[in-house]
Amino acid sequence: MNKTVPLIAFTLFCLIDFFGIYLDKQLLVNFAKPMLMITLFWYYYSNAKKLNKYFVLGLFFSFLGDILLLGDGEMYFVFGLFFFLIAHVFYIIMVLKIIQITKPKEFIIAGVPFFLLFLVLMNVLYAGLGVMKIPVIIYAVTISFFGIVSLILYLKAKTKISLLLLVGVLTFIASDTILALNLFYKKQSFYPLLIMMTYVLAQYLICRFVLKLNQQS
């Protein structure tokens, strides 16, 4: 099978999901969203010489998160958030397997921008979080750590491959930031589409990083 077919399928389901959000057709969203991580895994599986179990597990829990976030209600959101947190933990382990943080200074330098972003966001969102304070803070700390280890990798390697990961993680953080602003600060009509566009781009960039890394080994 042509290795580009899975990427075409992934792109097609992304577009269906985008149109569903834009046209406010939940049926289209319910149809397309569960297929996003499935087709991205298909693309990864078709192109990888050897599967990275941490990335595969990250995709699996992202898939579960996508399913849960289709539900309506606080519990769906909490469990969806939990599955995405687990996905990030596997992504973090994947990166930590590549880098060795030998100096606390590396972690401190890389952590400064993410710590400042965390403080700014908490200042903006805190009053609107209500009972979601603890889950959101735990999730924010986790994805910030993902950003930190990705930045450390880039500062150490300074390669196009490591830049792929860093941009992917920053795009993921942007997606989650917009989601948080939409839920806990101020809703905007264009936020849902922007959230999904940045989300699928982030997952694709992380996938490309893993594939490029795989080609080097």
Report the alpha-carbon distance of residue 88 to residue 164 in Å, rounded: 16
Query: Minimal CA–CA distance to 186: which of 124, 116, 117, 119?
Result: 124
Report the alpha-carbon distance of residue 116 to residue 39 in Å, rounded: 35
Contact 67, 32 (CB under 8 A): no
Q: How many domains does the chain have?
A: 1
Neighbours of 64 (CB within 10 A): 19
Fill in the amino acid letter for 95.
Answer: V
Contact 120, 91 (CB under 8 A): no
Output the CA angle 63-182-111, nearest 5 degrees.
Answer: 75
Structure confidence at residue 100 (pLDDT): 76
Task: Pull the structure tokens for residue 9.
Answer: 């399928």
Q: Percentage of residues in the chain with pLDDT exceeding 90?
A: 88
- Mean of the per-residue pLDDT values for the chain? 94
Structure confidence at residue 3 (pLDDT): 79
Structure confidence at residue 123 (pLDDT): 95
Task: Pull the structure tokens for residue 170.
Answer: 């920053």
Instruction: Please determine, for residue 14, whether its predicted confidence score (pLDDT) is greater than 80.
Output: yes
The listed range with the strongest mean pLDDT (155-159, 179-183, 213-217) is: 179-183
Backbone angles phi, psi at 62, to 5 degrees: -65, -40
Task: Pull the structure tokens for residue 211.
Answer: 């594939």
What's the domain range around 146? Answer: 5-216
- Alpha carbon distances (Å) from 141 to 18, 162, 182, 214: 29, 22, 19, 28
Structure confidence at residue 104 (pLDDT): 85
Backbone angles phi, psi at 71, to 5 degrees: -75, 160
Calculate Rg over the CA atoms of the chain.
17
Once rounded to an integer, what is the mean pLDDT over residues 112-120?
96
Contact 184, 129 (CB under 8 A): yes
Q: Percentage of residues in the chain with pLDDT exceeding 70?
A: 98
* Residue bearing tokens 């298909």: 42
Specify the pTM: 0.95
Report the alpha-carbon distance of residue 142 to residue 174 in Å, rounded: 14
Once rounded to an integer, what is the mean pLDDT over residues 135-150?
96
Report the alpha-carbon distance of residue 85 to residue 65 in Å, rounded: 9
